[in-house]
Amino acid sequence: MSVLRAGTLELRGRRITLRPLTPGDWDQWREVRTAGRDWLVRWEPAPLPGSPDPADDRRAFAARCGARDRERQLGTGFGFGIFLGDRFCGEINLSGIQRGPFQNGYVGYWIEQLYAGNGYIPEAVVALFRFAFEELHLHRLQVAVIPRNIASNRVAQKLALRHEGTALRYLEINGVWEDHHRYAMTVEDWWERRTTLLDAWIL
Ligand SMILES: CC(C)(COP(=O)(O)OP(=O)(O)OC[C@H]1O[C@@H](n2cnc3c(N)ncnc32)[C@H](O)[C@@H]1OP(=O)(O)O)[C@@H](O)C(=O)NCCC(=O)NCCS
């Protein structure tokens, strides 16, 4: 379950903690992002031309945190840093939340290369799914993955997310319109599989 610590939303996994990033996280964030540029950029949208890079510009990072705060207040998105103790090591975001008849959100994530292969992202995904289904009462969550991203497809497979098909030229990643496997879970699946997922990744 989520807890409020000093006014901050916090989700707990077995080993990791998720909480919104704040301007005070800039030093750690920039260090991880700068060292991991090659590891990350090939799987991410290219920055808008002319926009300041939050890894080089403290104010741009603070603005990014502010934008995420507003999304959270509006209920349209929930962005979290992933922490091992006090050590920042990645991010997981629930974005593009739509209510009405869809009740859907999109999940994206990354972890620092040094910490890859320890199951921290599947753990973070289950913590976020629990929050999204049980506290935000969303109906469907989707993760979209480029077919050649073996590691990320493995995350979806480990969690047995439903492969709903491959959307052609679905998202513009690093300047190219890339096909994506669309993986999803609905709240009905969540209640069916909740105990197994929490036992495997959270408790
Ligand atoms: C994809 C990613 C989020 C997976 O996170 P993770 O916490 O390492 O996930 P896991 O520990 O469950 O490992 C998943 C797979 O990564 C691969 N992997 C394991 N160790 C690895 C390492 N040191 N380096 C790279 N890949 C590794 C394996 O294929 C593993 O599957 P396996 O456990 O069946 O062997 C992470 O590799 C990452 O951040 N990559 C760069 C950004 C990215 O691809 N984001 C997702 C876009 S959809």
Whether this model's pTM surpasses 0.85: yes
Distance (angstroms) between ligand 1 centre and the Cα of 194 equals 23
What number is the average pLDDT over the span 72-76? 97
Which runs of consecutive H residues, i.e. helices, occur in the chain? 26-35, 37-41, 58-74, 120-134, 150-158, 187-201
| Structure-token pair, residue 14 | 């077995």
Collect contacts of 108-111 with beta carbons under 8 A, ≥24 apart: 108/143, 109/82, 109/155, 110/40, 110/43, 110/44, 111/82
Identify the band that residue 4 occupies on the pLDDT scale cut at 50, 70 and 90.
low
pLDDT digits (tens, 9 = 90+) for 43-70: 999 999 999 999 999 999 999 999 999 9
Does 3 score more than 90 pLDDT? no
Q: Is 150 in the pocket of ligand 1 (CB under 6 A)?
A: yes
Distance (angstroms) between ligand 1 centre and the Cα of 160 equals 16
pLDDT digits (tens, 9 = 90+) for 6-57: 568 999 999 999 999 999 999 999 999 999 999 999 999 999 999 999 999 9
The pLDDT of residue 26: 98
Go through the domains of the chain in sequence order and give each one's CATH number: 2-201 (3.40.630.30)
In angstroms, the CA 118 to CA 6 distance is: 29
The pLDDT of residue 41: 96
Q: Check the CA dihedral 125-202-151-22 and report its sign.
A: positive
Q: Is 32 in the pocket of ligand 1 (CB under 6 A)?
A: no
In angstroms, the CA 163 to CA 166 distance is: 8
Distance (angstroms) between ligand 1 centre and the Cα of 34 equals 19
pLDDT digits (tens, 9 = 90+) for 89-115: 999 999 999 999 999 999 999 999 999
pLDDT digits (tens, 9 = 90+) for 136-179: 999 999 999 999 999 999 999 999 999 999 999 999 999 999 99
Other C-beta atoms within 10 Å of 142: how many?
18
The pLDDT of residue 7: 65
Distance (angstroms) between ligand 1 centre and the Cα of 87 equals 19
Q: Is 122 in the pocket of ligand 1 (CB under 6 A)?
A: yes
The pLDDT of residue 1: 64
In angstroms, the CA 29 to CA 38 distance is: 15
Question: Which tops the pLDDT comparison, 132 or 8?
Answer: 132
